[in-house]
Protein backbone atom coordinates (compact mmCIF):
# COMPACT_ATOMS: atom_id res chain seq x y z
CA UNK A 1 0.00 0.00 0.00
CA UNK A 2 1.42 3.37 -0.98
CA UNK A 3 2.03 6.04 1.63
CA UNK A 4 -0.06 9.26 1.42
CA UNK A 5 1.82 12.29 0.15
CA UNK A 6 3.63 14.33 2.83
CA UNK A 7 1.25 17.24 2.32
CA UNK A 8 -1.75 15.04 3.15
CA UNK A 9 -0.01 13.65 6.24
CA UNK A 10 0.79 17.17 7.40
CA UNK A 11 -2.79 18.34 6.80
CA UNK A 12 -4.18 15.32 8.64
CA UNK A 13 -1.90 16.04 11.59
CA UNK A 14 -3.03 19.67 11.66
CA UNK A 15 -6.67 18.59 11.55
CA UNK A 16 -6.18 16.19 14.45
CA UNK A 17 -4.36 18.84 16.50
CA UNK A 18 -7.14 21.36 15.80
CA UNK A 19 -9.77 18.76 16.78
CA UNK A 20 -7.94 18.03 20.04
CA UNK A 21 -7.69 21.74 20.82
CA UNK A 22 -11.39 22.25 20.09
CA UNK A 23 -12.29 19.31 22.32
CA UNK A 24 -10.00 20.64 25.06
CA UNK A 25 -11.57 24.10 24.87
CA UNK A 26 -15.05 22.58 24.99
CA UNK A 27 -14.05 20.48 28.01
CA UNK A 28 -12.55 23.54 29.73
CA UNK A 29 -15.72 25.53 29.02
CA UNK A 30 -17.90 22.80 30.56
CA UNK A 31 -15.63 22.61 33.61
CA UNK A 32 -15.67 26.40 33.98
CA UNK A 33 -19.47 26.45 33.75
CA UNK A 34 -19.71 23.86 36.52
CA UNK A 35 -17.27 25.81 38.67
CA UNK A 36 -19.33 28.96 38.12
CA UNK A 37 -22.50 27.12 39.15
CA UNK A 38 -20.79 25.75 42.24
CA UNK A 39 -19.50 29.17 43.29
CA UNK A 40 -22.92 30.67 42.60
CA UNK A 41 -24.49 28.06 44.87
CA UNK A 42 -21.90 28.78 47.58
CA UNK A 43 -22.63 32.51 47.31
CA UNK A 44 -26.39 31.99 47.63
CA UNK A 45 -25.79 29.68 50.60
CA UNK A 46 -23.56 32.25 52.32
CA UNK A 47 -25.99 35.09 51.63
CA UNK A 48 -28.97 33.07 52.87
CA UNK A 49 -27.13 32.06 56.04
CA UNK A 50 -26.09 35.65 56.64
CA UNK A 51 -29.61 37.03 56.19
CA UNK A 52 -31.16 34.34 58.39
CA UNK A 53 -28.58 34.99 61.11
CA UNK A 54 -29.22 38.73 60.86
CA UNK A 55 -33.00 38.40 61.09
CA UNK A 56 -33.18 35.61 63.69
CA UNK A 57 -30.35 36.71 65.99
CA UNK A 58 -32.00 37.01 69.43
CA UNK A 59 -31.89 39.89 71.86
CA UNK A 60 -32.39 42.83 69.50
CA UNK A 61 -35.18 44.25 67.38
CA UNK A 62 -34.92 44.28 63.60
CA UNK A 63 -35.03 48.09 63.76
CA UNK A 64 -31.92 48.14 65.97
CA UNK A 65 -30.19 45.59 63.71
CA UNK A 66 -30.71 47.89 60.71
CA UNK A 67 -29.25 50.74 62.75
CA UNK A 68 -26.26 48.61 63.83
CA UNK A 69 -25.55 47.27 60.32
CA UNK A 70 -24.64 50.72 59.03
CA UNK A 71 -23.48 52.26 62.30
CA UNK A 72 -19.83 52.28 61.30
CA UNK A 73 -20.44 53.50 57.74
CA UNK A 74 -22.46 56.69 58.19
CA UNK A 75 -22.99 59.49 60.67
CA UNK A 76 -26.44 58.75 62.07
CA UNK A 77 -27.68 62.27 62.65
CA UNK A 78 -30.07 64.46 60.66
CA UNK A 79 -32.31 61.39 60.48
CA UNK A 80 -35.57 61.23 58.56
CA UNK A 81 -38.57 60.16 60.65
CA UNK A 82 -41.56 58.17 59.47
CA UNK A 83 -44.23 58.42 62.13
CA UNK A 84 -42.08 58.55 65.25
CA UNK A 85 -39.37 56.17 64.04
CA UNK A 86 -36.06 57.35 62.57
CA UNK A 87 -34.69 55.67 59.47
CA UNK A 88 -31.23 54.12 60.07
CA UNK A 89 -29.30 56.41 57.69
CA UNK A 90 -28.97 60.17 57.82
CA UNK A 91 -30.96 62.11 55.24
CA UNK A 92 -28.06 62.67 52.83
CA UNK A 93 -26.79 59.10 52.90
CA UNK A 94 -30.32 57.79 52.61
CA UNK A 95 -30.60 59.83 49.42
CA UNK A 96 -27.23 58.72 48.03
CA UNK A 97 -27.45 54.99 48.60
CA UNK A 98 -31.15 54.47 48.06
CA UNK A 99 -30.74 56.39 44.81
CA UNK A 100 -27.80 54.17 43.84
CA UNK A 101 -29.88 51.02 44.25
CA UNK A 102 -32.95 52.47 42.54
CA UNK A 103 -30.93 53.99 39.70
CA UNK A 104 -28.89 50.84 39.06
CA UNK A 105 -32.07 48.75 38.93
CA UNK A 106 -33.65 51.25 36.54
CA UNK A 107 -30.67 51.37 34.17
CA UNK A 108 -30.43 47.58 34.18
CA UNK A 109 -34.13 47.33 33.31
CA UNK A 110 -33.54 49.87 30.51
CA UNK A 111 -31.00 47.54 28.90
CA UNK A 112 -27.80 49.30 30.00
CA UNK A 113 -26.26 46.16 31.54
CA UNK A 114 -23.55 46.03 28.83
CA UNK A 115 -23.31 49.72 28.00
CA UNK A 116 -19.69 50.88 27.88
CA UNK A 117 -19.79 54.40 26.42
CA UNK A 118 -19.80 57.72 28.22
CA UNK A 119 -22.93 59.87 28.14
CA UNK A 120 -22.88 62.95 25.93
CA UNK A 121 -20.92 65.96 27.17
CA UNK A 122 -24.02 68.06 27.99
CA UNK A 123 -25.33 65.14 30.04
CA UNK A 124 -21.99 64.81 31.83
CA UNK A 125 -22.23 68.51 32.71
CA UNK A 126 -25.69 67.94 34.21
CA UNK A 127 -24.40 64.99 36.25
CA UNK A 128 -21.47 67.13 37.39
CA UNK A 129 -23.90 69.79 38.57
CA UNK A 130 -25.66 67.15 40.64
CA UNK A 131 -22.38 66.27 42.33
CA UNK A 132 -21.58 69.94 42.95
CA UNK A 133 -25.07 70.48 44.41
CA UNK A 134 -24.43 67.84 47.05
CA UNK A 135 -20.96 69.22 47.77
CA UNK A 136 -22.36 72.74 48.17
CA UNK A 137 -25.21 71.65 50.43
CA UNK A 138 -22.85 69.43 52.41
CA UNK A 139 -20.38 72.24 53.07
CA UNK A 140 -23.22 74.53 54.11
CA UNK A 141 -24.50 71.87 56.50
CA UNK A 142 -21.03 71.36 58.02
CA UNK A 143 -20.71 75.12 58.57
CA UNK A 144 -23.99 75.11 60.47
CA UNK A 145 -23.03 72.00 62.50
CA UNK A 146 -19.71 73.56 63.56
CA UNK A 147 -21.19 76.92 64.55
CA UNK A 148 -19.75 78.88 61.63
CA UNK A 149 -21.50 81.29 59.29
CA UNK A 150 -23.65 79.45 56.77
CA UNK A 151 -25.59 80.59 53.72
CA UNK A 152 -29.01 79.09 54.45
CA UNK A 153 -30.67 76.92 57.09
CA UNK A 154 -29.89 73.25 56.32
CA UNK A 155 -32.93 70.97 56.03
CA UNK A 156 -33.33 67.23 55.75
CA UNK A 157 -35.30 67.47 52.53
CA UNK A 158 -32.45 69.43 50.90
CA UNK A 159 -29.90 66.96 52.26
CA UNK A 160 -31.85 64.08 50.79
CA UNK A 161 -32.46 65.75 47.43
CA UNK A 162 -28.79 66.64 47.02
CA UNK A 163 -27.83 63.10 48.10
CA UNK A 164 -30.19 61.61 45.52
CA UNK A 165 -28.68 63.82 42.80
CA UNK A 166 -25.25 62.52 43.75
CA UNK A 167 -26.55 58.94 43.69
CA UNK A 168 -27.94 59.49 40.19
CA UNK A 169 -24.53 60.77 39.04
CA UNK A 170 -22.62 57.97 40.79
CA UNK A 171 -24.59 55.06 39.34
CA UNK A 172 -23.66 55.36 35.63
CA UNK A 173 -20.01 55.85 36.61
CA UNK A 174 -20.00 52.58 38.56
CA UNK A 175 -21.84 50.80 35.75
CA UNK A 176 -19.39 52.12 33.15
CA UNK A 177 -16.33 51.01 35.14
CA UNK A 178 -17.87 47.61 35.80
CA UNK A 179 -18.69 46.97 32.14
CA UNK A 180 -15.37 48.23 30.78
CA UNK A 181 -13.35 46.30 33.35
CA UNK A 182 -15.17 42.96 33.45
CA UNK A 183 -17.53 42.45 30.51
CA UNK A 184 -16.32 40.04 27.84
CA UNK A 185 -18.42 41.76 25.19
CA UNK A 186 -19.28 45.29 26.33
CA UNK A 187 -21.26 47.52 23.98
CA UNK A 188 -18.91 50.43 23.18
CA UNK A 189 -21.60 52.20 21.17
CA UNK A 190 -24.26 52.26 23.89
CA UNK A 191 -23.92 55.00 26.53
CA UNK A 192 -24.62 54.13 30.14
CA UNK A 193 -27.10 57.02 30.32
CA UNK A 194 -29.14 59.15 27.93
CA UNK A 195 -31.57 62.03 28.44
CA UNK A 196 -34.60 59.74 28.63
CA UNK A 197 -32.87 57.67 31.31
CA UNK A 198 -32.05 60.81 33.25
CA UNK A 199 -35.68 61.92 33.11
CA UNK A 200 -36.82 58.53 34.39
CA UNK A 201 -34.25 58.59 37.19
CA UNK A 202 -35.32 62.07 38.29
CA UNK A 203 -38.96 61.01 38.44
CA UNK A 204 -38.16 57.76 40.26
CA UNK A 205 -35.90 59.40 42.82
CA UNK A 206 -38.23 62.36 43.22
CA UNK A 207 -41.02 59.94 44.14
CA UNK A 208 -38.70 58.24 46.61
CA UNK A 209 -37.80 61.54 48.29
CA UNK A 210 -41.47 62.50 48.49
CA UNK A 211 -42.38 59.17 50.10
CA UNK A 212 -39.51 59.47 52.59
CA UNK A 213 -40.91 62.83 53.73
CA UNK A 214 -44.55 61.76 53.72
CA UNK A 215 -44.43 60.86 57.44
CA UNK A 216 -46.36 57.66 56.62
CA UNK A 217 -45.38 55.14 59.29
CA UNK A 218 -46.31 52.19 57.06
CA UNK A 219 -43.42 53.11 54.73
CA UNK A 220 -40.82 52.69 57.46
CA UNK A 221 -39.76 49.12 56.70
CA UNK A 222 -39.57 49.41 52.89
CA UNK A 223 -37.52 52.62 53.07
CA UNK A 224 -35.31 51.37 55.91
CA UNK A 225 -34.58 48.21 53.93
CA UNK A 226 -33.91 50.25 50.78
CA UNK A 227 -31.42 52.49 52.57
CA UNK A 228 -29.52 49.67 54.30
CA UNK A 229 -29.51 47.51 51.16
CA UNK A 230 -28.34 50.52 49.13
CA UNK A 231 -25.27 51.32 51.19
CA UNK A 232 -24.27 47.68 51.73
CA UNK A 233 -25.01 46.93 48.08
CA UNK A 234 -22.78 49.77 46.88
CA UNK A 235 -19.98 48.56 49.17
CA UNK A 236 -20.48 44.97 47.96
CA UNK A 237 -20.38 46.12 44.33
CA UNK A 238 -17.04 47.87 44.87
CA UNK A 239 -15.58 44.75 46.51
CA UNK A 240 -16.89 42.55 43.68
CA UNK A 241 -15.18 44.78 41.12
CA UNK A 242 -11.85 44.72 42.98
CA UNK A 243 -12.04 40.98 43.71
CA UNK A 244 -12.96 40.11 40.12
CA UNK A 245 -10.04 42.09 38.70
CA UNK A 246 -7.65 40.58 41.26
CA UNK A 247 -8.84 37.05 40.43
CA UNK A 248 -8.33 37.53 36.70
CA UNK A 249 -11.89 38.12 35.49
CA UNK A 250 -11.03 41.23 33.48
CA UNK A 251 -12.89 41.25 30.14
CA UNK A 252 -14.05 37.66 30.71
CA UNK A 253 -17.54 38.02 32.19
CA UNK A 254 -20.33 37.14 29.77
CA UNK A 255 -23.00 36.91 32.48
CA UNK A 256 -23.31 37.74 36.17
CA UNK A 257 -23.56 34.03 36.99
CA UNK A 258 -19.80 33.84 36.35
CA UNK A 259 -19.09 36.15 39.30
CA UNK A 260 -19.88 33.63 42.04
CA UNK A 261 -16.29 33.36 43.29
CA UNK A 262 -15.54 37.11 43.46
CA UNK A 263 -19.02 37.62 44.93
CA UNK A 264 -18.16 35.24 47.79
CA UNK A 265 -14.94 37.18 48.43
CA UNK A 266 -16.80 40.50 48.22
CA UNK A 267 -19.54 39.35 50.60
CA UNK A 268 -16.94 38.28 53.14
CA UNK A 269 -15.12 41.62 52.94
CA UNK A 270 -18.40 43.56 53.09
CA UNK A 271 -19.38 41.83 56.34
CA UNK A 272 -15.91 42.25 57.85
CA UNK A 273 -15.64 45.90 56.80
CA UNK A 274 -19.14 47.02 57.83
CA UNK A 275 -19.19 44.87 60.97
CA UNK A 276 -15.70 45.85 62.05
CA UNK A 277 -16.36 49.57 61.70
CA UNK A 278 -19.65 49.20 63.58
CA UNK A 279 -17.92 47.37 66.46
CA UNK A 280 -15.23 50.06 66.61
CA UNK A 281 -17.83 52.81 66.73
CA UNK A 282 -19.92 51.05 69.38
CA UNK A 283 -16.76 50.59 71.47
CA UNK A 284 -15.75 54.24 71.11
CA UNK A 285 -16.87 57.24 73.17
CA UNK A 286 -20.63 57.69 72.87
CA UNK A 287 -20.97 54.35 71.03
Confirm whether 27 is domain-assigned: no
Q: Which helix (H) or strand (E) holds 6?
A: helix 6-56
| Helix residue spans in 57-145 (DSSP H) | 62-69, 91-109, 121-145
Q: What b/e string do you get for 228-255 counting C-beta neighbours within 10 Å, with b at 16 or more?
A: bbbbbbbbbbbbbbebbeeeebeeebee
The DSSP letter of residue 258 is G
Q: CB count, 10 Å around CB of 196?
A: 9
CA distances from 33 to 20, 26, 209 (A): 20, 11, 42
Give me the pLDDT at residue 110, please.
95
From 173, 184, 198, select the one nearest 252 (Cα to Cα). 184
Give me the pLDDT at residue 284, please.
85
Q: Are 85 and 159 in contact (CB under 8 A)?
A: no
Our count of domains for the chain comes to 1
Give me the pLDDT at residue 6, please.
65
Give me the pLDDT at residue 122, please.
97
Q: CB count, 10 Å around CB of 226?
A: 23
Confirm whether 22 is domain-assigned: no
Give me the pLDDT at residue 171, please.
97
Give me the pLDDT at residue 12, please.
61
Beta strands 79-82; 187-191: pairing state: unpaired
Confirm whether 1 is domain-assigned: no
Assign 192 to helix, strand or coil: coil
Confirm whether 274 is domain-assigned: yes
The strand pairing partners of 85, in sequence order, are: 82
Confirm whether 20 is domain-assigned: no
Give me the pLDDT at residue 143, please.
95
- Residue range(s) defining the domain that contains residue 125: 59-283
d(CA 253, CA 244): 9
Confirm whether 29 is domain-assigned: no
From 92, 96, 98, select the one nearest 139 (Cα to Cα). 92
CA distances from 111 to 95, 175, 187, 215, 253 (A): 24, 12, 11, 34, 17
Give me the pLDDT at residue 29, please.
56
- How would you write the pLDDT of the chain (287 residues) with one tens digit per residue? 566 666 665 666 566 666 556 655 655 556 668 899 999 999 999 999 999 999 999 999 999 999 999 999 998 889 999 988 999 999 999 999 999 999 999 999 999 999 999 999 999 999 999 999 999 999 999 999 899 999 999 999 999 999 999 999 999 999 999 999 999 999 999 999 999 999 999 999 999 999 999 999 999 999 999 999 999 999 999 999 999 999 999 999 999 999 999 999 999 999 999 999 999 999 988 77
Give me the pLDDT at residue 4, please.
64
d(CA 249, CA 103): 25
The strand pairing partners of 100, in sequence order, are: none
Give me the pLDDT at residue 86, please.
95
Give me the pLDDT at residue 75, please.
86
Confirm whether 152 is domain-assigned: yes
Confirm whether 136 is domain-assigned: yes
Amino acid sequence: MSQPPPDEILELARSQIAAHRTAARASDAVAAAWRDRLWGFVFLLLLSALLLTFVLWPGATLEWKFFAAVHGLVAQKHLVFLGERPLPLCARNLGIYSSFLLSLSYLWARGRSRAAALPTRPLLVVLGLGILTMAFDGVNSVLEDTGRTYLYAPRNDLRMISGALFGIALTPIVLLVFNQALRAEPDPERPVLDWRDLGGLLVLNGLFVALAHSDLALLYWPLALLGVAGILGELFTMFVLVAAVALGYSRRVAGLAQLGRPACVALTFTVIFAGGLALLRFAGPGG
